[in-house]
Structure 1
């Protein structure tokens, strides 16, 4: 049986709110993901493939991933 933590990590990225400043609209238009605002951070949720691609895009744009 798969480890739930590993599955969650492959289907979401959690970032501080300021990390997506100026990039949220582009993330939502380029990738099939849902961006959910929560308190002081954003949760980007999608398939493992979309999360991987979105993570690479964020990294190329200077966002440090956890």
Structure 2
């Protein structure tokens, strides 16, 4: 059986809010994702393909992913 935490990891990215400064609008326009604020963090939610591509985009722009 598939581990639920593994599925969550492939469908979301959780980052401090400031990590998306200047990138949030581009993420929302380039990828089919939902960005949900949670206190001082943002949760980026999408399909595994979109999350992978969004993660690669963020990495190329200097954002360290957990």
TM-score (norm 1): 0.98
Displaced runs of 4 or more, over 3 A: none
TM-score (norm 2): 0.98
Residues 4-60 of structure 1, C-alpha deviations (whole Å, 9 max, x = no match): 000000000000010000000000000000000110000000000000000000000
2:5 aligns with: 5
Structure 2 residue matching 1:65: 3-state secondary structure:
coil
Root-mean-square deviation (CA, aligned residues, Å) is 0.4
Structure 2 residue runs without a partner (length 5+): none
1:19 aligns with: 19
Aligned residues: 66
1:55 partnered with 2:55: yes
Structure 1 residue runs without a partner (length 5+): none
- Cα distance in 2, alignment partners of residues 37 and 29 from structure 1: 17
